[in-house]
Amino acid sequence: MRTLAILNQKGGVGKTTTAVNFSAALARRGHRVCLVDLDPQAHASLHLAQKLTPSARPGCHMYHVFVEQVPLVEICHQADEHLQVAPAHIDLAAVEVELAGTAGRELLLRRRLEEAGKRWDFVVMDCPPSLGILTLNALCAVEEVVLPLQPHFLALHGLSKLLETLEVVATRSNPRLRLSGVLLCMYESNTRLAQEVERDIDQFLQSWRGQNRPWSEAKLFRTRIRRNVRLAEAPSFGTSIFDYAPKSPGAADYEALAQEFLESAPPLPPEITEEAFAQTMQQLSQPVQ
């Protein structure tokens, strides 16, 4: 089972579009996929709303998984033959406050996932645009992080905070955690800016190679998700790009991403020592521009 979080604390970079359509692309190939919606905005759940059949526990969603220990499998809706969705709800926003003071609150999702066993080949988590308790739960539960970026000015701004969070979680709670790749979304190949950002990201990733950090082996995905209006339209039809516009560039790009992802073996987890951790904290104290 490969478990991944689609994460960037920056809003509107393509996390949900990627979580939904990448999951759908994997499921179309026969892989058993669970898409976990961790965003109280519930955009991933709404994106597939027309496809969802009832779950074993009507009215239950991720809030109940966190706060009432409802098993993950019981809230899953079938969206397609091989695709299940664990939906979010605005109530999920209350988890932050309701779990304040609960010991081990960042490990709740990991426990629920362990209970579910190996019933899926892939678990894909759509994270909210923040580094709060929901995102921390995702990072403690998964082995891989995919970072969608929109190639524009300041695309890398804020990345140091995200990497610092990865390092903290990897050192303290989840040594298997690593960044598997950066994905360029809403890509416009003919702009100089996109090419400059692409070069900056590549240089940044290269500069960390072999340094035993959770992002040291991360790659820039060869597949770029081009800007395509069909991808923006699909959510209002409550379905993935493969049902809404199967011949669109958006469908082709997410299909290519699934292919590229499946070709790559999961990178080995780094060995993070306390010394490396302290050193990284120092290096990361300067924000990346």
Ligand X SMILES: Nc1ncnc2c1ncn2[C@@H]1O[C@H](COP(=O)(O)OP(=O)(O)OP(=O)(O)O)[C@@H](O)[C@H]1O
Residues that bind Mg ion (CB under 5 A): 15-16, 43
Between 17 and 171, name the residue whose CB sits nearer to Mg ion: 17
* Binding residues for ligand X restricted to 173-232, rule: CB under 6 A: 185-186, 225, 227-228, 231-232
Minimum distance from residue 243 beta carbon to ligand X (Å) = 15
* Spatial distance between the Cα atoms of 208 and 155, rounded to a whole number of angstroms: 18
Radius of gyration of the chain (CA): 18
Between 8 and 171, name the residue whose CB sits nearer to ligand X: 8
* Binding residues for ligand X restricted to 257-286, rule: CB under 6 A: none
Minimum distance from residue 53 beta carbon to Mg ion (Å) = 23
Region from 6-14, 59-67, 153-161, 272-280 binding ligand X, contact rule CB under 6 A: 6-14
Query: Given candidates 3, 4, 7, 14, which one binds ligand X under the rule CB under 6 A?
Result: 14
**From the list ligand X, Mg ion, none, partner contacted by residue 90 (C-beta under 5 to 8 A by kind):** none
Within 13 Å and on the Cβ side, how many CA atoms surround 263? 9
Contact of 8 with 185, CB cutoff 8 Å: no
Minimum distance from residue 29 beta carbon to ligand X (Å) = 21
Between 16 and 228, name the residue whose CB sits nearer to Mg ion: 16
Q: Which residue is nearest to Mg ion (CB)?
A: 16
Minimum distance from residue 228 beta carbon to ligand X (Å) = 5
Question: DSSP letters of 145-199?
Answer: EEEEE--STTTTTTHHHHHHHHHHHHHHT-TT-EEEEEEE-SB-TT-HHHHHHHH
Minimum distance from residue 15 beta carbon to Mg ion (Å) = 5
Structure tokens at 262: 């499946």
Q: Which residues contact 17 (CB under 8 A, 6 or more apart)?
A: 47, 185, 225, 231, 232
Region from 9-17, 29-37, 87-95, 97-105 binding ligand X, contact rule CB under 6 A: 9-17
Q: Which residues contact 229 (CB under 8 A, 6 or more apart)?
A: none
Number of H helices, E strands in the chain: 13, 8
Q: Which residues bind ligand X (CB under 6 A)?
A: 11-17, 39, 41, 43, 129, 185-186, 225, 227-228, 231-232, 235
